[in-house]
A and B are shown apart, each in its own frame.
Chain A
Amino acid sequence: MSSIAQKKGFGATIWDFMTTVDHKKIAILYLISGGFFFLVGGIEAMMIRIQLAKAGNDFLSAGLYNEIITMHGTTMIFLASMPILLAFMNAIMPLQIGARDVAFPFLNSLGFWLFFFGGIFLNLSWFMGGAPDAGWTNYASLALASEGHGIDFYTLGLTISGFGTLIAGINFLVTIINMRAPGMTYMRMPLFTWTTFVASALILLAFPPLTVGLFFMVFDRLFGASFFAVEMGGNTIIWEHLFWIFGHPEVYILILPAFGIFSEIFAIFSRKRLFGYTALVFATILIGFYGFMVWAHHMFTVGLGPTANAVFALATMIIAVPTGIKIFNWLLTIWGGSISFTTPMIYAVAFIPSFVAGGVTGVMQAIAPLDYQLHDSYFIVAHFHYVIVGGVVLAILAGTHLYWPKMFGTMLSEKLGKWTFWFFFIGFHLTFFIQHFLGLMGMPRRVYTFGADQGWDLFNAISSAGAIFMAIGVIILLVNVVMTTIKNERVGNDPWGDGRTLEWAIPSPPPFYNFAQTPLVRGLDSFWIEKMEGNKKGMIFAEPLGDIHMPNNSFIPFVMSLGMFVASFGALYFLDGDKPWALAVLVIGLLITFGSMLVRSLKDDLGFHITKAELLKDAKGGNTDGH
């Protein structure tokens, strides 16, 4: 995609991406693999809607349907939404704070490869004896009873990719804490950086319970432990708690970066400073904080008792307040602005009513007695698709259009982008709005078919028709990507013309060292300030031009992750009597991982320097795209 790729051979490009520690290239890796898994999850969604298009359909068998809904949820959350958001964080956040790279470039690469191998491992289940079938929440009583190895693919795959995400979270936190350019105080950070910061903090504290829960599940199923086996004194509620202590912050891990992307879009395309920046920042922090105190609203019907239900119901209603604050701030940002309805902006404007609808049904479910009625019905399905598709996926699509020029140096077609929007947006409401009513009419979720006499035919048919619209929207986006890549019209620093933050002050795509000289930040919306003062360079500098220290590429992250991947197969078949090689595979895999860890810590890796002369040559030749 970049000009450097055209100069190099195909093999060399692949090798470059396998060893890269450059945050911008890792962002591209995340985007491609996240996009791939998004398509896989989308195909699974289409199969679900085909199965439910008419009463008594036999397109899918009951068992296969269970596998597909499980994999659809798991793939979309862990392998599509999160990685694509991590792609934007990687690509943009270091540029927004004026950093040359993230704090730990090596770990950044390791985080990606762990996620990648975890995702591949999980999806290999389709070809190796069946996918997990206990729902994406994998409740223990179902999961322990599930035959075959599907659940083990789920637990081991998510463990690996969970490590990757945890590493990414720590990396972003340290980057934001330590690597901000001079003058970039916390209260001058762009909102996308802020949401990255809070989402990373949530990753840091929410992933450990999931990892522990997954380990318990692995030990229970593969090594004969009995954490959840009731007849051995175990307790299945422990899984539910651990899963949702992770699971609820997880939805904020997804939605906060989405809020960040929309905040950038509103400010850019209204040509106005964000209204109530401070309130937005504190609302973000508050959401992160409350996010940890509401998890049991997923478990109202478990029977935790009236006290617990009341406490968690109240906490859940309170969390709607900071979210409401944000909505009003965005509306007031648009108010009186000089608005241009570009593709990202129409996504942002469409996001507000869609997300509010999802939020309102969320508050309905926070009322515990009502939740007893709504629980496990299509109302819930409609609710969480309204927040996740109406919030996160719209943000991902908007972000793809907004940041595409910064990542690849060429603009996606606005015309096709709007076609994508209309198909996707109409399809989305067509699919999910009507599911609220299906839920109220009593249709249960996760059931593979329904009878003709239940009166759910028409609404389900409409819902399935909507899904086709969404699919057409995504196909147009793919066409758009291919066409713009072939055309490859290069763009300048600030292709939207109204960029406000530092990433728009440097070339698209940026040189691999980002900033030849570290910028000096003089206020919120640093690039806008310089533009308004007529500064042609777009920034003022905090240091004279000098040598830049850069990290070396490394193949070790790939090998380390590969070791975990191999070890997982060993663990998977550990208890199968007919596979005596399983233990050996487990040991070999762990040896690869720990061996490469040892190599990494024993071998000095001091990086290299770009000299001042090379920087000057780059600046003169306009070649800012690599060595």
Chain B
Amino acid sequence: MDINQRYTPQSWPEHPETATMEGKNKFIGFWLLLAAETVTFASLFATYLALKDKGPSGMEFSAAGLFELPLVFAMTMILLTSSLTSVYAMYHMKNHNFKAMQAWLGITVLLGATFLGLEIYEFNHYVHLGFGYTNSAFSSAFYTLVGTHGAHVLFGLSWFIALMLRNAKRGLNMYNAPKFYLASLYWHFIDVVWVFIFTVVYLMGVIG
């Protein structure tokens, strides 16, 4: 694989992410990592469900009393939209349109950062209510589950930014196309996890 090889949209392969052996390996390896992540998050969800609303006797906090849906709704919409914008970015990657891809990735990063900001605001709000990390088994499980997701968002953002900056001058090639593709897969996976978080933690929490 020659990193200096220049491509035109016409010579750019149909599936640049798996066009090289290295790309193929990364592609399979990353999906396997996602399978492992599925089990990781399942363990976190399972623990959260077992410890939901559990605390020292007389604990004043419960999921039904704590969570507020409008903020969660906004966060959900933002993250879902960022999933679509990363699909657009990959669409342009496959068209070998580097500028458009960078632009869509930029939008994705902005949306992701907004999501993360809202999450920090939410956590901060709960902590001010007295619902700190060490408050109860419930709070530990809640912050660990949602916080792990937040850490994934942060990692995804850093990954996108690093890729965009590193490749800003040299454009798309066979060496970085798999990297962009995997970063966007990661982003979709983060969205998948959030779908379950808003359903299982927030919606089912509010119901009680």
Contacts and interface: CB of A to CB of B under 8 A. Distances in A.
Contacts of B141: 227
Interface residues of A, number: 41
B25 A212 contact: no
Ranked nearest first, the 3 interchain pairs of A and B with the lowest CB-CB distance are A233-B54, A233-B137, A225-B140
Given A225-B133, A225-B134, A601-B162, A238 B47 contact: yes
Instruction: Name the residue among B1, B140, B175 with the largest chain A CB count within 10 angstroms.
Output: B140
Interface stretch (A149-157, A202-210, A307-315): A202-210
Contact of B55 (A103, A171, A205, A232): A232
A219 B43 contact: no
Contacts of B70: none
Contacts, number: 108
Given A170-B32, A208-B39, A213-B43, A234 B162 contact: no
A208 B25 contact: no
22 contacts: A174-B25, A178-B28, A179-B25, A204-B35, A208-B36, A209-B43, A212-B43, A212-B44, A219-B144, A224-B133, A225-B134, A225-B140, A226-B136, A226-B137, A232-B56, A233-B51, A233-B55, A233-B136, A233-B138, A601-B179, A604-B3, A606-B3
A37 interface: no
A216 B144 contact: yes
Contacts of A245: 43
The size class of the interface chain B forms with chain A is 35 or more
Interface in A191-237: 204-205, 207-209, 211-213, 215-216, 219-220, 223-227, 229, 231-235
Interface of A: 103-104, 166, 170-171, 173-174, 177-179, 204-205, 207-209, 211-213, 215-216, 219-220, 223-227, 229, 231-235, 238, 242, 245, 598, 601-602, 604, 606
B151 to A, nearest CB: 12
A606 B1 contact: yes
A219 to B, nearest CB: 7
Nearest to A204: B36
Contacts of A602: 162, 166
Nearest to A206: B39
B63 to A, nearest CB: 13
Nearest to A605: B175
A144 to B, nearest CB: 13
Interface string B125-153: 00000000110111011001000000000
Contacts of B37: 208
Contacts of B50: 235, 238
Contact of B29 (A103, A226, A238, A604): A103
A171 B29 contact: yes
Contact of A234 (B33, B39, B51): B51
A215 B144 CA distance: 10
Given A173-B32, A216-B144, A178 B25 contact: yes
A325 to B, nearest CB: 27
B124 interface: no
Given A208-B43, A211-B40, A604 B175 contact: yes
B21 interface: yes
Given A103-B25, A170-B32, A226-B137, A233 B56 contact: yes
B59 interface: yes
A169 to B, nearest CB: 8
B15 interface: no
A205 B54 contact: no
A208 B29 contact: no
Given A170-B32, A178-B25, A209 B39 contact: yes
A223 B54 contact: no
B6 interface: no
A405 B68 CA distance: 66
Contacts of B133: 223-225
A170 B29 contact: yes
Interface string B10-36: 000000000001001100110011011
Nearest to B132: A224
A579 to B, nearest CB: 20
A168 to B, nearest CB: 12
A224 B28 contact: no
A225 B166 contact: no
A231 B140 contact: no
